[in-house]
């Protein structure tokens, strides 16, 4: 059962000024699947997401090489007009802090209707009705009233729901969610993740879920890609990755979380710090922190090994 | 031996147009010498207000904070200063809590200077010891905070908090801003130093898995009140209050699948709290009495719970 991917990223390299932040990322997302992209700060997960939407600040950022294809179309070759059609219509994105992505001087209803007017219809009344429908769909109580509210009149969870309503306005095939619940309380986080999962099932939309939270990925994603130092270091179905991590970084990360350890014992910590872009070591970026480091790890970047089911870049895999 | 006893502590913030926000209501809690007590809850539950008012970084509106038997709430600033040697705090954001203009040596040594402890040379010596203790290199002394990563900055903040050999530290989301791989280093460091120096810690966090790992006892807060309190493992394995149960089930865990009970609604506005039990608007086990009468925190066979499902 091979389905052709909806989105493929192929050997993508992105620099900030002269410093590489993304160093050869390859990823693909199939229609309707939820792919988790996990990693710590500075690993390049958000930059990867922004590049799919061509939302990178260029300059200073610059795509040095690689290709991004959406449904057969080359995103990197698109004109601004074509990109406008792609964004919102085909691919939509939500961010961590809805307060900064919403316009504080327009009502929620107007902001949803704006997207509908831009892409779907020129009938204002229809667009306004669609806005109310969408607010209802994302579980906002009294949607007619909510449409009249300004962002500051809503709670964090309601604002994230409103952002999702905007993202859904044009029935996108791919939703990129960049840390969508990081700023929310855990009980509200559970609601938002359930909502995204329901919408994925119902609309057949693919989701790229970017997060630092391994628990979130484990519970919601079918497949997971782990990033470190600007590269995808391991990729596998979630069940497989969490029960049988093979890259030494993934393995160490799963062992170090408090929930994986009995209370009170010393956590098996990973020494050192995440190298920032521009200060990444030679060879495998994880080698200075790795307890299984070989000589070759300090010199050469590991090749991508494994099969389509479980890929990794590690010279001394588990 | 009880080191700190908080009795009926409350804090009311006064807003515009006479609006009142009761951030902390009648919170009572004690911490023994060498004990780690975890305080957990969602935003607006009052956990940070609790940590800060017991240090009087925020002035409490009522109640008592007895430190070694002495109430510090009515103390004048001058009388409070010597107490501050024993009571320290570590904040969440190691970027915002360290003066960027000062070198690390000065940042860590400042509490010693403020309290007029030792000669300049003795203070230098103490700073060097502290750097060792928290695992920072000696040459850190002449560098600025911005030259360090988030985890290392949190080590600096910990060294500063330890400078005066305090008896109690409030750790307010001290590891929440850190990456997963760094978080465990800092948790280990805090746990190690706590044992080594026999310090009491009030560990405030929204992250139950972190709290569980470090705390002897935990208090669960909701909208300014403690709703459940008990031995950490008892509460984690057998949560009593419906809110504690929901909170535990909402935490995404590696290796578990979805479809747990998802709590509806959000934390109510503290300026306009619900009648009766503040949790009744979201509680899956709500009864009529919950809407009318607020349950008191009462000792039960296991810990203490504020819920009408239990004998009041």
Evaluate whether residue B288 is within a structural domain. no
Residues B42, A218: C-beta atoms closer than 8 Å: no
Residues A264, B255: C-beta atoms closer than 8 Å: no
Evaluate whether residue B267 is within a structural domain. no
Evaluate whether residue B193 is within a structural domain. yes
Q: Which residues of chain B have pLDDT under 50?
A: none
Residues A40, B181: C-beta atoms closer than 8 Å: yes
Contact B103, B87 (CB under 8 A): no
Of B43, B232, B252, the CB nearest to A213: B252
The CA angle A38-A41-A43, to the nearest 5 degrees, is 65
Contacts of B262 in chain A (CB under 8 A): 187, 190-191, 194
This model of the complex carries an ipTM of: 0.84
Contact B160, B89 (CB under 8 A): no
- What pLDDT, on the 0 to 100 scale, is given for residue A279? 87
Number of domains in chain B: 1
| Closest chain B residue by Cα to residue A217 | B254
Residues A273, B180: C-beta atoms closer than 8 Å: no
Domain architecture of chain A: domains with CATH: 7-90+172-269 (3.40.50.300), 101-171 (no CATH)
Structure tokens at A307: 């099969």
The CA distance from A159 to the nearest CA of chain B, in Å, is: 12
Of A187, A252, A253, the CB nearest to B250: A187
Residues A258, B149: C-beta atoms closer than 8 Å: no
Structure tokens at A217: 């990925």
- What pLDDT, on the 0 to 100 scale, is given for residue B253? 85
Average model confidence (pLDDT) across chain A: 91
Evaluate whether residue B63 is within a structural domain. yes
The alpha carbon torsion through A223, A225, A226, A230 (nearest 10 deg) reads -170
The CA distance from A20 to the nearest CA of chain B, in Å, is: 19
- What pLDDT, on the 0 to 100 scale, is given for residue A95? 87
- Residue B2, class by beta-carbon neighbours within 10 Å (0-12 exposed, 13-18 middle, 19+ buried)? middle
Integer Cα distance of A187 and A182 in angstroms: 12
Evaluate whether residue B148 is within a structural domain. no
Interval A95-104: pLDDT, tens: 887 778 899 9
- What pLDDT, on the 0 to 100 scale, is given for residue B260? 64
Residues A258, B210: C-beta atoms closer than 8 Å: yes
- What pLDDT, on the 0 to 100 scale, is given for residue B259? 53
Residues A242, B254: C-beta atoms closer than 8 Å: yes
List helix spans (H) across chain B: 47-54, 77-84, 104-114, 120-133, 150-162, 180-197, 208-214, 232-237, 242-250, 288-292
Contacts of A190 in chain B (CB under 8 A): 250, 252, 260, 262-263
Contacts of B149 in chain A (CB under 8 A): 273-274
pLDDT at A209 over 70: yes
Contact B260, B269 (CB under 8 A): no
Evaluate whether residue B253 is within a structural domain. no
Please indicate whether residue B19 or residue A15 has the higher confidence score (pLDDT).
A15
Residues A289, B213: C-beta atoms closer than 8 Å: no
Instruction: Average the pLDDT over A78-83 and give the result.
Output: 92
Q: Say which residue the tokens 């050999």 belong to.
A: B165
Of A41, A218, A269, the CB nearest to B188: A269
| Closest chain A residue by Cα to residue B257 | A219
Looking up residue B214, the CATH number of its domain turns out to be: 3.40.50.300
Exposure string for A28-58, b = 16+ CB within 10 A, e = fewer: bbeebbbbbbbbbbbbbbbbbbbbbbbebee
Contact B211, B47 (CB under 8 A): no
| Closest chain A residue by Cα to residue B258 | A219
| Closest chain A residue by Cα to residue B182 | A273
Residues A242, B246: C-beta atoms closer than 8 Å: no
Evaluate whether residue B160 is within a structural domain. no
In terms of residue numbers, what domain contains B185?
A: 2-86+166-241
Other C-beta atoms lying within 10 Å of the C-beta of residue A3: 9
The CA distance from B151 to the nearest CA of chain A, in Å, is: 8
Of A186, A219, A253, the CB nearest to B258: A219
Residues A273, B149: C-beta atoms closer than 8 Å: yes
Contacts of A273 in chain B (CB under 8 A): 149, 151-152, 182
Instruction: Average the pLDDT over A111-124 and give the result.
Output: 88
Residues B42, A186: C-beta atoms closer than 8 Å: yes
**Chain B interface with A: residues with Cβ < 8 Å:** 42-43, 149, 151-152, 179-182, 184-185, 187-188, 191-192, 206, 208-210, 212-214, 232-233, 246-247, 250-258, 260, 262-264, 266-267, 282
The CA distance from A317 to the nearest CA of chain B, in Å, is: 19
pLDDT at A30 over 80: yes
A17 pLDDT band (50/70/90 cuts)?
A: confident
Residues A252, B181: C-beta atoms closer than 8 Å: yes
Integer Cα distance of B224 and B24 in angstroms: 4
Contact A127, A116 (CB under 8 A): yes
- Residue B231, class by beta-carbon neighbours within 10 Å (0-12 exposed, 13-18 middle, 19+ buried)? middle
- What pLDDT, on the 0 to 100 scale, is given for residue A97? 79
pLDDT at A1 over 80: no
Pick left, alpha or beta for residue B49 (phi over 0 → left; psi -120 to 50 → alpha; otherwise beta). Answer: alpha
Of A197, A242, A266, the CB nearest to B188: A266
Contact A250, A236 (CB under 8 A): no
Determine the 3-state secondary structure of B69 from DSSP.
Answer: coil
Evaluate whether residue B81 is within a structural domain. yes
Contacts of A189 in chain B (CB under 8 A): 250, 252
Cβ–Cβ pairs < 8 A, chains A and B: 128
Residues A218, B250: C-beta atoms closer than 8 Å: no
Residues A185, B209: C-beta atoms closer than 8 Å: no
Of B180, B187, B208, the CB nearest to A212: B180
């Amino acid at each position: 059962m091979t389905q052709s991917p909806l989105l493929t990223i192929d050997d993508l390299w992105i620099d900030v000024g002269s410093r590489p932040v993304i160093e050869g990322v390859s990823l693909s997302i199939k229609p309707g699947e939820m792919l988790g992209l996990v990693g710590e700060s500075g690993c390049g997960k958000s930059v990867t997401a922004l590049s799919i939407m061509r939302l990178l600040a260029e300059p200073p950022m610059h795509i040095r090489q690689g290709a991004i294809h959406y449904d057969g179309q080359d995103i990197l070759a698109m004109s601004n007009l074509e990109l406008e059609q792609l964004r919102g219509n085909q691919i939509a994105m939500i961010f961590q802090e809805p307060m900064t992505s919403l316009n504080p001087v327009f009502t929620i209803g107007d902001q949803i209707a704006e997207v509908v007017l831009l892409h779907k219809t020129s009938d204002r009344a229809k667009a306004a009705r669609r806005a109310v429908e969408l607010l209802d769909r994302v579980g906002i109580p009294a949607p007619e009233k909510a449409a009249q509210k300004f962002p500051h009149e809503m709670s964090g969870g309601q604002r994230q729901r409103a952002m999702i309503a905007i993202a859904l306005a044009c029935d996108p095939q791919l939703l990129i969610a960049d840390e969508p619940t990081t700023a929310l309380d855990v009980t509200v986080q559970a609601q938002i993740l359930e909502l995204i999962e329901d919408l994925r099932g119902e609309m057949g939309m693919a989701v790229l879920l970017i997060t630092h939270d391994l628990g979130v990925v484990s519970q919601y994603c079918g497949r997971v890609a782990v990033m470190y130092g600007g590269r995808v270091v391991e990729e596998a179905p979630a069940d497989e990755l969490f029960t049988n991590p093979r890259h030494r970084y993934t393995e160490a990360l799963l062992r170090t979380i408090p929930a994986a350890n009995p209370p009170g014992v010393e956590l098996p910590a990973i020494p050192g710090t995440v190298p920032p872009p521009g200060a990444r070591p030679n060879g495998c970026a994880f080698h200075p922190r790795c307890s299984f480091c070989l000589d070759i790890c300090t010199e050469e970047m590991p090749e991508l090994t494994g099969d389509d089911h479980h890929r990794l870049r590690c010279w001394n895999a588990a | 031996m009880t080191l700190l006893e908080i009795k009926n502590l409350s804090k009311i913030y006064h807003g515009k147009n006479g609006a009142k926000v009761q951030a902390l209501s009648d919170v009572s809690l004690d911490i023994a010498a060498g004990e780690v007590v975890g305080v957990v809850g969602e935003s607006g539950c009052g956990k940070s207000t609790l940590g800060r008012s017991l240090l009087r970084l925020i002035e409490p509106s009522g109640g008592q904070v007895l430190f070694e038997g002495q109430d510090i709430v009515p103390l004048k600033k001058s009388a409070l200063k010597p107490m501050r040697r024993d009571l320290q705090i570590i904040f969440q954001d190691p970027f915002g809590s360290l003066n960027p203009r000062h070198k690390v040596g000065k940042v860590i040594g400042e509490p010693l200077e403020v309290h007029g402890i030792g000669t300049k040379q003795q203070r230098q010596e103490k700073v060097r010891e502290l750097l060792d203790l928290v695992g920072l290199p000696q040459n850190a002394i002449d560098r600025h905070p911005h030259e360090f990563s988030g985890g290392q900055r949190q080590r600096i903040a910990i060294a500063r908090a330890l400078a005066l050999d305090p008896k109690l530290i409030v750790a307010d989301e001290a590891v929440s801003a850190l990456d997963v791989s760094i978080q465990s280093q800092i948790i280990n460091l805090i746990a190690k130093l706590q044992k080594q120096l026999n310090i009491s810690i009030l560990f405030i966090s929204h992250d139950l898995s972190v709290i569980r790992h470090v705390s002897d006892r935990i208090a669960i807060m909701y909208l300014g009140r403690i709703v459940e309190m008990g031995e950490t493992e008892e509460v984690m394995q057998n949560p009593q209050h419906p809110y504690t149960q929901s909170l535990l089930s909402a935490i995404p865990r590696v290796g578990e699948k979805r479809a747990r009970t998802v709590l509806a609604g959000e934390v109510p506005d503290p300026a306009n709290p619900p009648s009766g039990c503040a949790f009744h608007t979201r509680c899956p086990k709500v009864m009529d009495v919950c809407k009318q009468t607020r349950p008191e925190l009462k000792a039960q066979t296991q810990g203490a719970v504020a819920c009408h499902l239990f004998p009041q």
